[in-house]
Structure 1
Amino acid sequence: MTRLKVARYTLAILLLAPLVSMSQTAVLVDPSVVESPAVGADLEVGIKISQGSNVAGYQFTLEFDNTALEYITIVNANFLPAGAFAIPPKVNGGKVTLAATSLAGGTSGDGTLAKATFKILKKSDSALKLSGVKLSDPDANAITSKSINGKVAAELASVITKRPFGGQSLKLSAQVTKAGSPVTALKAVSQDAGIAKAGTFIEYQVKFSNLSALKVGGVYVHTSDGQVIGPSDPAKGMRLQADEDGGWIHSRLSLTPVEGKQIAAITVGTKVDSAPAGLFSMFIDNIQMTDGNKTLQPIWLSSANAGDTVAAEPYGDLVGVESLDVGVSDDVKIAVEPKNKVVTIWGKIKSVK
């Protein structure tokens, strides 16, 4: 039997095989968001795998806008073992399908399954969508996976670094039940946010009520292998910005410590080893994934998301609090009294429990 026939046979079995549960395995377009180069220039994207386990074959279809992108080529990359080979890709309008297999066992971990190259026909926003994704092990058993799509942006917006007073934002509040105990109270604002890159950040604006006993919190990033990064230092007070900013503090969280890992979730709230008893009350807005200058991916912006339904369920278990309330609230300016006391009158909250 020729190598091509073996490959086709293996991939045919893959379509019929029973599923093996690998819930964390993801196949994704990388980068998740890329700014379009000039018309006529080439654009290369990767089809990556995260948390793969004993993968010996794959198949997927990459869908694209063929009025904005002209397909040039797609090739098998280096995730499968040496000697792996691909069936010639099938192109049909704005879709290209690629399948590859290895006869030398499987590979585990993270890596690149394939690389696709397009020519830019026009600068416009367009989706890069994965469909029909199938993975197999060396015995042709199918491996379950999830797919994460990508996007080509005509132009990336500048990072929002200042949050003027007014409008609406997210508010989170909880009651810490016991002093000195650990607290975890988080809500997801994004899941499956792509692969973390060195030199990229999560940036946002945050402020705490002066009535909040706990002033550690903000945005946390969770990777698919269980690592969590987030703010660790208490806010240094409401006067880090001028009064006209309404007390908002700009924060930046580097993704370099989790470079190359799949971002399973981006959450807001607090996670500390020890907290004082009492109220936790935090406002947050303009959550963005950035390269330090431009917004690669908006996560939660009041200008775009204030009318969206806020997920009621916490992300993971609540620890040290009875409940976590989250909702969209009107902003209220912080006033400074002559005795330098910060007085805050918080807006009415539309709470979701």
Structure 2
Amino acid sequence: MRSDVQPQWDQNSRQFTTPIPLRFRVICAITIFLAIPSLVFARATVSIQPLEVESPAVGKEFSVDVVITNGENVAAYQVTVEFNPNTLALVDTKNADYLPAGIFVVPPIITDNNVTLAATSLADASNGDGILATITFAVVDVNPSTIKFTAVLLSDPEANQLGVITTNGQITGPADINEFPVAVIDVTPKKVFTDQTVTLNAAGSRDDSEIKTYVWRFGDGSSTERKETVEHVYKQPGTYTVTLTVTDDGVPPLKDEAIFVITVTDKGLSVHQQGKQITSWGQLKIRK
């Protein structure tokens, strides 16, 4: 077979040399490139789990785990976890059972804003997934913060350092809480007579977001109204219970109900007789 590669005279060494064929160089480069991913993917991952925690109330405690996945021939670990002392206080640490039985656990090293945990197996190594340690915090202030690694070391039984990828945890603020709306009724005029227009106003009602619906019931068998401000006429004297139900736009929606008692006087009575009528009005609250 004829070769495309010809010897060349090297002026420096004063001898003929044979250059490496291009095809051979390409094959070597591809072989090296394909070998690299096996080293990368063999790395273990050490992470804070759960990755995201909604902060409990001040004074409450919660725990996170230091979790290892894809571990291979792991005989010892050392992790340093940093936290924000303005939002969290360290309560306790506990070594878990990832490493084989008979391990030596190093007492934790604690500062104001981090803790270092370490343990080593005196016998075998471990493989696969598991929990290295558990850390318990108490909430000092409800604010977003990060629980992160500043150092993570894994080693095999011969004390060779193993490759590792780390994933930090996140403490989030509390989820938005939908507060109950507050229904408020205002009536004009205060003394009500038959065949008189009464204005009922819910403008004083409030919510942490927005009131989506208003429903008025007038207590006299008439149809309901669904506006913020309505007008109504009572044809007969007597005492009527007006009910306002407001619903907010939250998920799920929340309701509040207010009751207003109106006494309607017969306008045909004399002034003296009207004075003897009991004019009673006021608002009661019912939370649904």
TM-score range, shorter chain: 0.3 to 0.5
Normalising by structure 1, we get a TM-score of: 0.38
Normalising by structure 2, we get a TM-score of: 0.46
Which one has more relative contact order, counting CA pairs under 8 Å at least 6 apart?
1
